[in-house]
Protein backbone atom coordinates (compact mmCIF):
# COMPACT_ATOMS: atom_id res chain seq x y z
CA UNK A 1 0.00 0.00 0.00
CA UNK A 2 1.57 3.24 -1.11
CA UNK A 3 1.47 6.47 0.91
CA UNK A 4 -1.05 8.06 -1.45
CA UNK A 5 -3.40 5.15 -0.97
CA UNK A 6 -3.12 5.37 2.80
CA UNK A 7 -3.73 9.10 2.61
CA UNK A 8 -6.80 8.54 0.43
CA UNK A 9 -8.09 5.99 2.93
CA UNK A 10 -7.54 8.33 5.87
CA UNK A 11 -9.33 11.11 4.01
CA UNK A 12 -12.25 8.79 3.40
CA UNK A 13 -12.36 8.07 7.11
CA UNK A 14 -12.26 11.73 7.90
CA UNK A 15 -15.03 12.37 5.41
CA UNK A 16 -16.92 9.39 6.85
CA UNK A 17 -17.28 7.76 3.44
CA UNK A 18 -15.42 4.84 5.05
CA UNK A 19 -16.04 3.59 8.57
CA UNK A 20 -13.22 3.23 11.10
CA UNK A 21 -13.67 -0.55 11.16
CA UNK A 22 -13.62 -0.85 7.39
CA UNK A 23 -10.43 1.20 7.27
CA UNK A 24 -8.86 -0.89 9.98
CA UNK A 25 -9.71 -4.05 8.06
CA UNK A 26 -8.28 -2.54 4.91
CA UNK A 27 -5.03 -1.64 6.62
CA UNK A 28 -4.73 -5.16 7.97
CA UNK A 29 -5.81 -6.94 4.84
CA UNK A 30 -3.24 -8.56 2.62
CA UNK A 31 -4.16 -9.75 -0.86
CA UNK A 32 -3.34 -13.42 -0.51
CA UNK A 33 -5.09 -16.10 -2.48
CA UNK A 34 -5.22 -19.26 -0.43
CA UNK A 35 -5.32 -22.61 -2.27
CA UNK A 36 -4.93 -24.82 0.80
CA UNK A 37 -1.46 -26.04 0.05
CA UNK A 38 -0.04 -22.79 -1.26
CA UNK A 39 -0.89 -19.13 -1.05
CA UNK A 40 -0.75 -17.11 -4.23
CA UNK A 41 0.72 -13.72 -3.75
CA UNK A 42 -1.09 -11.28 -6.02
CA UNK A 43 0.89 -8.32 -4.76
CA UNK A 44 4.26 -9.68 -5.61
CA UNK A 45 4.40 -8.22 -9.09
CA UNK A 46 3.86 -4.77 -7.62
CA UNK A 47 6.33 -5.36 -4.87
CA UNK A 48 9.16 -7.08 -6.68
CA UNK A 49 8.37 -6.14 -10.26
CA UNK A 50 8.02 -9.78 -11.39
CA UNK A 51 5.24 -12.33 -10.80
CA UNK A 52 5.56 -15.55 -8.80
CA UNK A 53 6.91 -18.62 -10.57
CA UNK A 54 5.96 -22.25 -9.81
CA UNK A 55 8.88 -24.26 -8.41
CA UNK A 56 7.73 -27.79 -9.35
CA UNK A 57 10.15 -29.90 -7.33
CA UNK A 58 8.25 -31.69 -4.58
CA UNK A 59 4.85 -30.63 -5.94
CA UNK A 60 2.39 -33.07 -7.53
CA UNK A 61 1.08 -32.60 -11.07
CA UNK A 62 -2.27 -31.86 -9.48
CA UNK A 63 -0.84 -29.07 -7.35
CA UNK A 64 1.13 -27.54 -10.21
CA UNK A 65 -1.91 -27.66 -12.44
CA UNK A 66 -4.16 -26.02 -9.88
CA UNK A 67 -1.74 -23.19 -9.22
CA UNK A 68 -1.09 -22.64 -12.93
CA UNK A 69 -4.81 -22.66 -13.66
CA UNK A 70 -5.55 -20.09 -11.02
CA UNK A 71 -2.69 -17.86 -12.17
CA UNK A 72 -3.87 -18.04 -15.80
CA UNK A 73 -7.32 -16.93 -14.69
CA UNK A 74 -6.44 -14.19 -12.25
CA UNK A 75 -3.43 -12.54 -13.87
CA UNK A 76 -2.20 -11.49 -17.31
CA UNK A 77 1.45 -12.08 -16.45
CA UNK A 78 3.58 -14.93 -17.76
CA UNK A 79 3.00 -18.25 -15.99
CA UNK A 80 5.83 -20.80 -15.87
CA UNK A 81 7.10 -23.73 -13.83
CA UNK A 82 10.74 -24.72 -13.21
CA UNK A 83 12.37 -28.04 -12.32
CA UNK A 84 9.60 -30.07 -13.98
CA UNK A 85 10.50 -33.73 -14.50
CA UNK A 86 9.73 -35.27 -17.92
CA UNK A 87 6.82 -37.25 -16.43
CA UNK A 88 5.20 -34.22 -14.90
CA UNK A 89 5.79 -32.21 -18.05
CA UNK A 90 3.94 -34.82 -20.10
CA UNK A 91 1.01 -34.89 -17.69
CA UNK A 92 0.80 -31.10 -17.63
CA UNK A 93 0.75 -30.84 -21.41
CA UNK A 94 -2.26 -33.17 -21.62
CA UNK A 95 -4.06 -30.79 -19.27
CA UNK A 96 -2.73 -27.57 -20.80
CA UNK A 97 -2.34 -28.36 -24.53
CA UNK A 98 -1.15 -24.83 -25.30
CA UNK A 99 1.75 -25.04 -22.84
CA UNK A 100 5.35 -25.19 -24.11
CA UNK A 101 7.58 -27.89 -22.64
CA UNK A 102 11.34 -27.27 -22.69
CA UNK A 103 13.00 -30.62 -22.11
CA UNK A 104 16.62 -29.59 -21.51
CA UNK A 105 15.61 -26.66 -19.32
CA UNK A 106 13.12 -28.84 -17.42
CA UNK A 107 10.52 -26.07 -17.69
CA UNK A 108 6.90 -25.68 -18.72
CA UNK A 109 5.69 -22.31 -19.96
CA UNK A 110 1.91 -21.96 -19.62
CA UNK A 111 1.82 -18.40 -20.92
CA UNK A 112 4.65 -16.20 -22.13
CA UNK A 113 4.96 -12.51 -22.98
CA UNK A 114 5.35 -11.54 -26.60
CA UNK A 115 8.87 -12.27 -27.79
CA UNK A 116 10.92 -9.10 -27.38
CA UNK A 117 8.17 -7.45 -25.41
CA UNK A 118 10.92 -6.16 -23.17
CA UNK A 119 13.62 -4.05 -24.77
CA UNK A 120 17.19 -5.05 -23.95
CA UNK A 121 19.25 -8.11 -24.53
CA UNK A 122 20.99 -10.76 -22.51
CA UNK A 123 23.93 -12.94 -23.54
CA UNK A 124 24.18 -16.36 -21.94
CA UNK A 125 27.60 -18.01 -22.26
CA UNK A 126 27.94 -21.65 -21.20
CA UNK A 127 31.00 -23.84 -20.89
CA UNK A 128 30.14 -27.40 -21.91
CA UNK A 129 27.38 -29.69 -23.10
CA UNK A 130 26.66 -30.77 -19.54
CA UNK A 131 25.97 -27.19 -18.49
CA UNK A 132 23.14 -26.85 -21.00
CA UNK A 133 20.23 -27.58 -18.61
CA UNK A 134 21.24 -24.72 -16.36
CA UNK A 135 21.97 -22.35 -19.22
CA UNK A 136 18.67 -23.21 -20.88
CA UNK A 137 16.79 -22.55 -17.65
CA UNK A 138 18.20 -19.03 -17.78
CA UNK A 139 17.39 -18.66 -21.49
CA UNK A 140 13.80 -19.88 -21.30
CA UNK A 141 13.04 -17.84 -18.16
CA UNK A 142 14.30 -14.63 -19.70
CA UNK A 143 12.52 -15.24 -23.02
CA UNK A 144 9.25 -16.07 -21.28
CA UNK A 145 9.26 -12.58 -19.78
CA UNK A 146 9.90 -11.07 -23.21
CA UNK A 147 13.65 -10.43 -23.23
CA UNK A 148 15.94 -11.03 -26.21
CA UNK A 149 18.51 -13.70 -25.43
CA UNK A 150 21.60 -14.80 -27.31
CA UNK A 151 23.14 -18.10 -26.19
CA UNK A 152 26.83 -18.89 -26.85
CA UNK A 153 27.19 -22.56 -25.92
CA UNK A 154 30.22 -24.80 -25.51
CA UNK A 155 32.67 -21.96 -24.88
CA UNK A 156 34.65 -23.21 -21.90
CA UNK A 157 38.02 -21.90 -20.89
CA UNK A 158 39.86 -24.69 -22.71
CA UNK A 159 38.46 -23.22 -25.90
CA UNK A 160 39.60 -19.72 -25.09
CA UNK A 161 39.85 -18.60 -28.69
CA UNK A 162 36.18 -19.38 -29.21
CA UNK A 163 35.22 -16.86 -26.58
CA UNK A 164 37.46 -14.17 -28.01
CA UNK A 165 35.38 -14.28 -31.17
CA UNK A 166 32.36 -13.09 -29.20
CA UNK A 167 34.14 -10.22 -27.49
CA UNK A 168 32.14 -7.45 -29.16
CA UNK A 169 28.80 -8.98 -28.24
CA UNK A 170 29.94 -9.44 -24.66
CA UNK A 171 30.67 -5.70 -24.50
CA UNK A 172 27.40 -4.60 -26.02
CA UNK A 173 24.93 -6.81 -24.14
CA UNK A 174 23.00 -5.26 -21.30
CA UNK A 175 24.03 -8.14 -19.08
CA UNK A 176 26.01 -11.37 -19.50
CA UNK A 177 25.20 -14.63 -17.73
CA UNK A 178 28.19 -17.03 -17.53
CA UNK A 179 27.30 -20.66 -16.78
CA UNK A 180 30.06 -23.17 -15.93
CA UNK A 181 30.86 -26.15 -13.76
CA UNK A 182 34.23 -27.82 -13.15
CA UNK A 183 36.70 -25.06 -12.25
CA UNK A 184 34.32 -22.22 -13.17
CA UNK A 185 37.04 -20.15 -14.80
CA UNK A 186 34.67 -18.97 -17.52
CA UNK A 187 33.34 -16.27 -15.20
CA UNK A 188 36.78 -14.75 -14.74
CA UNK A 189 37.45 -14.86 -18.45
CA UNK A 190 34.18 -13.21 -19.39
CA UNK A 191 34.64 -10.67 -16.61
CA UNK A 192 38.09 -9.87 -17.95
CA UNK A 193 37.12 -9.20 -21.57
CA UNK A 194 33.72 -7.53 -21.17
CA UNK A 195 32.53 -4.26 -19.69
CA UNK A 196 28.95 -5.48 -19.12
CA UNK A 197 27.67 -6.66 -15.73
CA UNK A 198 28.43 -10.39 -15.44
CA UNK A 199 26.29 -12.81 -13.44
CA UNK A 200 28.09 -16.11 -12.86
CA UNK A 201 26.16 -19.36 -12.38
CA UNK A 202 28.18 -22.29 -11.01
CA UNK A 203 26.86 -25.72 -12.03
CA UNK A 204 27.16 -29.07 -10.31
CA UNK A 205 28.91 -30.47 -13.40
CA UNK A 206 32.23 -32.16 -12.66
CA UNK A 207 33.42 -35.14 -10.68
CA UNK A 208 35.55 -35.86 -7.67
CA UNK A 209 36.75 -32.72 -5.98
CA UNK A 210 34.14 -30.53 -7.67
CA UNK A 211 32.00 -31.54 -4.70
CA UNK A 212 28.70 -30.98 -6.52
CA UNK A 213 29.55 -27.50 -7.72
CA UNK A 214 31.42 -26.21 -4.69
CA UNK A 215 34.65 -25.82 -6.67
CA UNK A 216 32.99 -23.65 -9.32
CA UNK A 217 31.08 -21.66 -6.71
CA UNK A 218 34.20 -20.79 -4.72
CA UNK A 219 36.16 -19.98 -7.86
CA UNK A 220 33.45 -17.60 -9.07
CA UNK A 221 33.19 -15.86 -5.71
CA UNK A 222 36.96 -15.34 -5.76
CA UNK A 223 37.25 -14.09 -9.31
CA UNK A 224 39.94 -11.49 -9.72
CA UNK A 225 37.85 -9.72 -12.38
CA UNK A 226 36.06 -6.91 -10.54
CA UNK A 227 32.36 -6.64 -11.31
CA UNK A 228 31.26 -10.26 -11.35
CA UNK A 229 28.54 -11.56 -9.02
CA UNK A 230 27.31 -15.08 -8.33
CA UNK A 231 24.08 -17.07 -7.86
CA UNK A 232 23.44 -20.40 -6.18
CA UNK A 233 24.71 -23.59 -7.82
CA UNK A 234 22.62 -24.60 -10.88
CA UNK A 235 20.40 -21.54 -10.39
CA UNK A 236 19.90 -20.45 -14.00
CA UNK A 237 16.44 -19.25 -13.08
CA UNK A 238 17.79 -16.88 -10.42
CA UNK A 239 20.34 -15.40 -12.79
CA UNK A 240 17.62 -14.69 -15.34
CA UNK A 241 15.39 -13.07 -12.73
CA UNK A 242 18.24 -10.79 -11.71
CA UNK A 243 18.87 -9.91 -15.36
CA UNK A 244 15.20 -9.06 -15.80
CA UNK A 245 15.30 -6.72 -12.80
CA UNK A 246 18.19 -5.00 -14.50
CA UNK A 247 16.51 -4.75 -17.93
CA UNK A 248 13.52 -3.07 -16.32
CA UNK A 249 15.85 -0.47 -14.84
CA UNK A 250 17.77 0.03 -18.08
CA UNK A 251 14.82 0.43 -20.36
CA UNK A 252 12.56 2.39 -18.09
CA UNK A 253 15.33 4.73 -16.99
Strand pairing category for 121-126 and 148-152: parallel
Closer residue to a copy of itself (CB): 97 or 228: 228
Residue 108 backbone dihedrals phi, psi, to 5 degrees: -125, 125
Q: β-strands 121-126, 175-180: how paired?
A: parallel
| 102, containing H or E segment | strand 100-102
Nearer to a copy of itself, 93 or 162 (CB): 162
- Give percent helix, percent strand, percent coil of the chain, each to the nearest 5: 45, 20, 35
User: How far apart are CB 209 and a copy of itself at their closest, in Å?
Assistant: 4
Q: Footprint of a copy of itself on residues 120-149 (CB under 8 A)?
A: 120, 127-130, 132
Considering only residues 66 through 105, tell me which ones interact with a copy of itself, judged by CB under 8 A: none
Q: What are phi and psi of 71, to 5 degrees?
A: -65, -35
Binding mask 98-117 for a copy of itself (x = CB under 8 A): --------------------
Burial degree of 192 (CB within 10 A; 0-12, 13-18, 19+) = middle
Nearest CB to a copy of itself, comparing residues 117 and 160: 160
Site for a copy of itself in 1-20 (CB under 8 A): 2-3, 6-7, 10-11, 13-14, 16, 20
Q: Is 72 exposed, middle or buried (0-12, 13-18, 19+ CB in 10 A)?
A: middle
Rounded distance, CA 18 to CA 213, Å?
A: 57
Least distance CB 97 / a copy of itself (angstroms): 26
Site mask for a copy of itself (CB under 8 A), range 38-57, x = bound:
xx-x-xx--xxxx--x-x-x
Nearest approach, Cβ of residue 171 and a copy of itself (Å): 8
Size of the site for a copy of itself (CB under 8 A): 116
Residue in 37, 74, 90, 115 binding a copy of itself, rule: CB under 8 A? 37
Q: Could you tell me the smallest distance in angstroms from the CB atom of residue 208 to a copy of itself?
A: 3
Indicate the burial class of 2 (C-beta count within 10 angstroms; 0-12, 13-18, 19 or more): exposed
Residues in contact with a copy of itself, shown as a per-residue x/- string from 174 to 203 under the rule CB under 8 A: xx------xxxx-xxx-xxxxxxxxx--x-
CA atoms within 13 A on the CB side of 133: 16
Amino acid sequence: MRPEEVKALLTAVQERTTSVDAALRKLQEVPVDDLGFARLDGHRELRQGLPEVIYAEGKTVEQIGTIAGRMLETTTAPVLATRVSPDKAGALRSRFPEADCHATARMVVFRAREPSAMTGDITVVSAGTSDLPVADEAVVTAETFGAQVHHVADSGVAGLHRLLGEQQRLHDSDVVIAVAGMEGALASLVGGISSAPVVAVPTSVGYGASFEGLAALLAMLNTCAAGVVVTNIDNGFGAAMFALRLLRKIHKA
